[in-house]
Amino acid sequence: MTGLKNCAMSFDEFQNQARLYVIGALEPEELEEFELARKDLGQEAEDFITKCYSMHEAFALSLRPAKSSDVLKDRLMAMVRNRQKS
């Protein structure tokens, strides 16, 4: 795809791509097309991207480690001790 191609992406397609964009999952060719659509779709596109970033950050902040740090530390120390014995 070239930068000279006119954007033919619908807003629905843009929304799907935007979700991938905020997590860095677009391929270079997809990113180029996405950026063209972003420019063509204007403020509505920018507002949707902002919303996606907000959701992404809220999700990341809501995650908790699967195990406590004490459990991880104990496991790591056991691995170190086992290597020293070998």
pLDDT at 2: 38
Q: Is residue 5 part of a domain?
A: no
Question: Is 2 a domain residue?
Answer: no
Domain ranges, residue 33: 11-85
pLDDT confidence of residue 69: 75
Q: What does the pLDDT look like over 49-61, one tens digit per residue? A: 999 999 988 888 7
Predicted confidence (pLDDT) per residue in 29-82, tens digit: 999 999 999 999 999 999 999 999 999 888 887 777 666 677 778 888 888 888
Counting Cα atoms < 13 Å in the Cβ hemisphere of 64 gives 2
Q: What is the pTM (predicted TM-score) of this model?
A: 0.63
The number of distinct structural domains making up the chain is 1
